[in-house]
Amino acid sequence: MSTPANSPRSPERPRVVGRFAPTPSGRMHLGNAFSALMAWLGARSAGGSMVMRVEDLDPRAQSRERADLLMRDLAWLGLNWDEGPFYQSERTEVYEQVLARLEGAGLTYPCFCTRSQLHAASAPHASDGTYVYQGTCRNLSASEVAERMLARQPATRLRVPSAGDPRGTIEVHDLVYGVHVETLARDCGDFLVRRSDGVFAYQLAVSVDDALMGVNQVVRGRDLLGSAARQTYLLGLLGFDAPAYAHVPLLVAPDGRRLSKRERDLDLGALREEGVRPERIVGRLAAAVGLVDAGTDISPIELLSEFSWETISRHNSDIVVGDEFLL
Ligand code: GLU
């Protein structure tokens, strides 16, 4: 169908809605602060808004107290939000409904594999460090399922299209790392949507929440770049558009190891106690991706005019954090 030359075209671009999606399993560290800063700048520099979603799906590993601390640390850095906090732990009914839809469409199946079976049968690892599922439980008969149910509570997996099916090859256009293509059958296999202990899987909850909360720009560490294909696929099945993705560099120790919660001295609790100012932290993180000169102390608001995804994409190697990083 042709469009008359003088008809109005795609009027306005939708407003950017970004999000913070912390998992409250410990104190925020410098790496989380960096992703949060990029998420905030990405949305606010485009005049957009921010949603706060606490990813506390696993009740054994996470707590409200930790979530409160994370939110206070973000506020202390100068990062605010407009909606939320929403708690994933309070949204299980929503995930139940979505899972029922997928189950009803025959897109899922129960998986009885134990951790050691998964390891033994594992193909080369998927891009995010997990194994590629080999489909062991994909074609169990109804009687096999019934029999195994007696012994073990299953997890639930989503069927991905088989290797030659173009619907299973997903192209992600990342604002920082460019085009990333995954073929789901080869790169991850049928993936978990619910764990065997009943906890909903990250891929399901995060996709559903981003869609239902109107999030259209997802900013997070590049360790999750591989997940974007799974999430795009799942969103498509549910009839939603995928958000724009911007994965950002990771913070690493001088020996190349990823900074982790174990580096206590780099968590925001310790840094605040030491008297480090938020403008120092924000300035050093911003300088690492070329937004300001080294040695600048600056607030997130002052950084808004300096921010662009183009700049970040030119400085997208991992950020080495040595002893002198915050000096
Ligand atoms: N909750 C995840 C984390 O704290 C982030 C998930 C996401 O951004 O998609 O690492």
23 CA: nearest ligand 1 atom: 4
Output the CA 263–ligand 1 centroid distance in Å: 19
Please report the pLDDT score of residue 83 as a whole number: 98
| DSSP H helix total and E strand total for the chain | 12, 12
Percent of the chain past pLDDT 90, that is, above it, reads 82
Residue-level pLDDT at 26: 87
pLDDT of residue 263: 72
pLDDT digits (tens, 9 = 90+) for 230-269: 999 999 999 999 999 999 999 999 988 888 766 777 899 9
**What 3-state class would DSSP assign to 99?**
helix
Separation CA 310–CA 155 (nearest Å): 41
Give 120's contacts (C-beta < 8 A, 6+ positions apart). Answer: none
pLDDT of residue 150: 96
- Per-residue pLDDT tens over the stretch 78-125: 999 999 999 999 999 999 999 999 999 999 999 999 988 887 776 666
Backbone torsions φ then ψ of 324, nearest 5 degrees: -90, 0
| Helices of type H across 121-224 | 142-151, 184-187, 202-212
Ligand 1 in reach of 35 Cβ (< 6 A): no
Count of residues for the chain?
Answer: 327
Question: Is 312 a residue whose pLDDT tops 90?
Answer: yes
Tell me which residue has tokens 């109107």: 214
Q: What is the pLDDT of residue 2?
A: 41
Cα-atom radius of gyration of the chain, to the nearest Å?
21
Work out which ligand 1 atom sits closest to the CA atom of 206.
Answer: 9
CA angle 270, 272, 278 (to 5 degrees): 130
What mean pLDDT, rounded, does the chain reach?
Answer: 92
Ligand 1 atom with the smallest distance to the CA of 32 is 4
Task: Give the predicted TM-score (pTM) of the model.
Answer: 0.93
Compute, in angstroms, the gap from residue 255 CA to the centroid of ligand 1: 24
Q: Which of 8-12, 72-76, 252-256, 257-261 has the lowest mean pLDDT?
A: 8-12
What is the set of domains in the chain, with CATH numbers?
Answer: 17-90+206-320 (3.40.50.620), 94-202 (3.90.800.10)
Token digits of residue 254: 């001088």
Q: 55 CB under 6 A from ligand 1? A: yes
Whether ligand 1 lies within 6 angstroms of the CB of 33 is answered as no
Residue 126, H or E segment: none
CA 66 – CA 25 distance, rounded (Å): 7
Can you tell me the distance from the alpha carbon of 256 to that of 305, in angstroms, rounded to the nearest whole number?
A: 32
Beta strands 191-194 and 217-221, pairing class: unpaired
Q: Is the pLDDT of residue 22 over 90?
A: yes
DSSP 204-252: HHHHHHHHHTT--EEEEEGGGHHHHHHHHHHHHHTT-PPPEEEEEPPEE
Query: How much is the pLDDT for 262?
Result: 64
Query: How far apart are alpha carbons 259 and 27 in whole angstroms?
Result: 13
Peptide bond into 85 cis (omega under 30): yes
Of the listed ranges 62-76, 117-131, 199-213, the least confidently predicted one is: 117-131
Question: With contact defined as beta carbons under 8 Å apart, do 52 and 200 qualify?
Answer: no
Q: CB-based contacts of 172: which residues, under 8 Å, 6+ apart?
A: 179, 180, 181, 182, 225, 228, 229, 232, 242, 245
Mutate to test the pocket of ligand 1, among 55, 62, 86, 215 (most ligand atoms within 8 A of CB): 55
User: Ligand 1: which atom is nearest the Cα of residue 231?
Assistant: 9
Residue whose Cα lies nearest atom 5 of ligand 1: it is 21
CB of 206 sitting under 6 A from ligand 1: yes
Q: What is the C-alpha separation between 99 and 306, in angstroms, rounded?
A: 42
pLDDT bracket for residue 228 (50, 70, 90): very high
Residue 192 gets which letter from DSSP? E
User: For residue 186, how far is its CA from the centre of ligand 1 (angstroms)?
Assistant: 24
* Model confidence pLDDT, tens digit, residues 158-198: 999 999 999 999 999 999 999 999 999 999 999 999 999 99
pLDDT surpasses 90 at 3: no
